[in-house]
Amino acid sequence: MPQVIEPVDATGVAAALSQSSADGRGVIVRGAGTKFSPPPSDVILSTARMTEGVDHVAGDLVATLPAGISLDAANDILRREGQWLPLDPPRSHHATIGGIVATNDSGPRRHRYGGPRDLIIGIEIALVDGRVAKAGGRVVKNVAGYDLSKLMCGSHGTLAVVTRATFKLSPVAPFSRTLVATGSDVRRLSTLALTIANAPPLAPTAIELQSPPHGLLVRFETTEAAAAAQVKIAAGLCEQFGATPHVVFGQAESDAWRAHEARVFGTPGVVLKIAVLPTDVGDMLAIIERLSSAAAVVCELSGRAALGILLLKISGDHSAYSSIVAELRREASARGGSAVILSAGSGDPMTTVDRWGPLGDAQPLMQAVKARFDPQHLLNAGLTPWD
């Protein structure tokens, strides 16, 4: 059984890493466990107790958050001053700040606000040699030194352990409405998403495609009058594309977005993140339809259509998974994109398939950075391609 260590601050994390390094023991860094699990290791370093010390500077619209606090818990504190960290990754009631940074995770509001890499301005990390390092600060335009904060976003805990992070915040919008458009052609809906995204009067916070059944969710978070005006314009565009629009707000709106998240993450299956140019989304949707109809699998998708990001859940005949993923990777790569496995159920045959796919010329650089930060390959070993 692995040893479980639960430090309460950066000093405790650094001490645990230093001891593990001296002993040559591998370390799994764990938050709430909502992401892809690394292979077994000697030590589990949990951030579960690192929840104290939220430093909210409301006048500057910034906050420093401990790694172990959940996103929802952090936003409950920030909302007391009418502000929030505008991230909405899956399972945000459990997902920790450290885990969100480590995976650069985001949700539908990435359309408007970006992901963790776009919002982070400072970081505190514990290194495998027992040191604690800091970068950035509480000033939004701080550009001194290397941008260590952004390097940690998406590093999956393989370079260092995130102990605290500082973000720029946004005011909480006073009102929200979501336009739900349904149609018979999912590719036509993806074109509608691009049209809405590029219509100058409109400023949606989220534009999400979903299928089946084919639908588009467009969220406007602003004043009530501005939301109503923008919904009216967007509804007109929907009708031009042959889609049927209706508007939800209040509890019905919350339920619609909760169901949208559950479409991909609420039931078992292999989940892929496909990233291509927004103009190539239609082609990828056609390929997904062809592959799902040719095999005994069920494909459900959602995603940021106007950003070129699709989340695809595959369930059904396990024997078809590998060939479907390989074909999607070939098609995405041919368009300069990628297809990465986000999650796979326990015992699923996809757990033995390469999670990342081809990396091209980036892999040597990734491995060089890994060697610099963690030369013994102790942190989350085997989780990423730079191992």
Dump pLDDT digits (tens) for 101-110: 999 999 999 9
The architecture that CATH gives domain 267-352 is 2-Layer Sandwich (3.30)
Q: Give the strand order in the sheet containing 62-66.
A: 55-57, 62-66, 161-168, 120-126, 132-136
Report pLDDT for 360. Answer: 78
* Domain 45-171 and domain 175-262 have a common topology: no
Residue 184 DSSP SS3: coil
CB atoms within 10 A of CB 323: 12
Q: How far is CA 55 from CA 21, 64, 65, 82, 170, in A?
A: 31, 5, 7, 15, 15
pLDDT at residue 319, rounded to an integer: 83
Query: Which pTM was predicted?
Result: 0.92
Q: How far apart are CA 369 and CA 17, in angstroms?
A: 18
**Looking at domain 175-262, which of 3.30.70.600, 2.40.50.1020, 2.60.120.10, 1.10.3720.10 is its CATH number?**
3.30.70.600
Q: What is the pLDDT of residues 313-358, one digit of tens each?
A: 998 877 888 889 999 999 999 999 999 998 876 555 555 568 888 8
Q: Which residues in the chain land under pLDDT 70?
A: 36-38, 138-146, 345-353
Please tell us whether the domain made up of 45-171 is placed in CATH 3.30.465.10: yes
Kindly list the domain boundaries of the chain, sorted by start residue: 45-171, 175-262, 267-352
Instruction: Give the pLDDT confidence score for residue 300 in this predicted structure.
Output: 93
Distance (Å) of CA 89 to CA 99, 106, 203, 299, 337: 11, 4, 20, 21, 21
Sign of the CA dihedral running 237, 240, 243, 248:
positive
